[in-house]
Chain A
């Protein structure tokens, strides 16, 4: 990794994801964005090819990829369509708490079904009253017999209307703040679980997002992940793992924007020459390429750190924040280079801006990331 070159194996994984993105995802991206439509046939095919449960180890039937390999794949997929990618990688997010907090018995029970058949799972942390302050969640886990009853509402949950399993964060006592939170595995079929209607979104419209209501949902103690009160660290460690791939997802959007803009600049003529020969356009393209490259290298280096087993919080926050801000800026420049056509839905670049926006918000907003970065940073000076 220090020489930043990929192994043949990594190149072939990347090649495979690239082919899938360009032949299966990209041709449907505009239609799924406009309608909007949740292209289940694309997700099934992604599952069939092993592109879905990337983080599940081979012993449970998954691909068991390193963080870096996951990033290579996610970047390519996002180049095809960021919204579809969000739905494809949502299983990684939802199953990670089981990988991190589950017992061997729980892993054997919950994970193999996802690798043996196409199923979706959702990660349920955010609530209507607030996402950033995860310690303040109010979904209650009331002790009942030796198990629990869950009551409350989650919102903005990716794939929720289509999922068969939820990993849910709930508190035994809101007064305890983050110390009261536990993580539970809840099947969609449990009485009292009701996903809401699909939200109308600005971007990532091929993905599906909704609320989930829990009404006195019975959860046996065998479906709690970790000890009571372990929920908050499980959620934070999960996001430490999944944040880097969001950097890769943003990089894929930015690369697509750069490719569209560069190709357009060679074809579009003003004042008797291609606009690529105007220096103002060249400066934009150069800045865009620089941001794309920096995003990619930051995500690779954060992923490599995680793969070495070192703490990844700081690096993954830096990578996610930089790459998502870069994706937004690069998509913005791509529209500018397209002029009026860039503003039209007929061209692909305005979608990239709408898609890039989400990467600055979800999996920990960039404001929260900057708090994390500063806190980790200042520890080193204290």
Chain B
């Protein structure tokens, strides 16, 4: 089975985020880039499929600027991916999903696979558009929000579940398909030390930006023009007390009279 997993570097959770000087994007200076949680799951899922289907290959692919792209691809190789592909992009890539689809489509054509796997959404922009947009661009079936994928080689079929408020759905898609993953069966694994060392010596295949087809015209409303951090949380109040029953009494009073949660 050949699997291509598309991954996106996102700022590490502990990073202090700041808007850039022009206010349009994130200031990436000093940001540490890691795989997003959904992408970690996607890699775990791909590795589980590889282990279940002897002779499988898992290629991690990212579209983005240097050096964060190489960093996350090396992390994928250390986790057990067999190869890596990098579609080069300038650092100031406009956040237009069509640009990404164009690049990932190029990668999918270069590296044909039975399954194109993604995290269901990235942890930074959370738009969740890419899996289905890419499926449309490739003209293959697509699904998002998948849980616990399996591959039936004899029937050339991918199966998974989706769950929603309405209940649990069971899906079967012919391969190749593009699937956005919500969660694998296992928690994402950690890389072994020896594999980290090995991954440093593995090649990363590149598709230079100039090899991409002409960019679609970027219109004003496809461009993010403002980036702001969420406002700092306010409104927390400490209730001072000497004894627990005094604290309870004060809390009930605040809840009733100010927050008006009960009559």
Contact = CB atoms under 8 A, between A and B. Distances in A.
A64 B197 CA distance: 10
Contact of A49 (B74, B190, B200): B190
Contacts of A19: 190
A50 B193 contact: yes
B78 A12 contact: yes
Contacts of B192: 48-50
A235 B40 CA distance: 45
Nearest to B67: A8
A186 to B, nearest CB: 29
Interface residues of A, number: 13
A19 B193 CA distance: 12
B191 interface: yes
Interface string A50-66: 11000000100001000
A51 B193 CA distance: 7
Interface string B166-206: 00000000000000000000000011111011001000000
A63 B200 CA distance: 14
A12 B74 contact: yes
Contact of B190 (A9, A16, A63): A16
A317 B74 CA distance: 37
Contact of A9 (B75, B191, B194, B197): B197
Contacts of B190: 16, 19-20, 49
A13 interface: yes
Nearest to A8: B200
A248 B66 CA distance: 32
Instruction: Give the size category of B's interface with A.
Output: 10 to 19
Nearest to A49: B192
B235 to A, nearest CB: 19
Interface string B239-252: 00000000000000
Contacts of A58: 194
Contacts of A16: 190-191, 193, 196
Contacts of A50: 192-194
A276 B197 CA distance: 41
A366 B200 CA distance: 39
Interface in A1-55: 8-9, 12-13, 16, 19-20, 48-51
A48 B200 CA distance: 20
A380 B78 CA distance: 47
B193 A9 contact: no
Most chain A beta carbons < 10 A, residue from B74, B193, B196: B193
A48 B193 CA distance: 9
B194 A63 contact: yes
Nearest to B74: A12
Nearest to A48: B192
A19 B190 CA distance: 9
Contact of A13 (B74, B75, B193): B193
Residue with the greatest number of chain B CB neighbours at <10 A, chosen from A13, A48, A49: A49
A63 B197 CA distance: 9
Given A16-B193, A51-B193, A58-B194, 6 more contacts: A8-B200, A12-B74, A12-B196, A12-B200, A13-B196, A16-B196
Interface of A: 8-9, 12-13, 16, 19-20, 48-51, 58, 63
10 contacts: A9-B197, A9-B200, A12-B74, A12-B78, A12-B196, A13-B193, A16-B196, A49-B192, A49-B193, A50-B192
The 8 closest A-B pairs by CB, nearest first: A50-B193, A9-B200, A50-B192, A50-B194, A49-B192, A63-B193, A12-B196, A49-B190
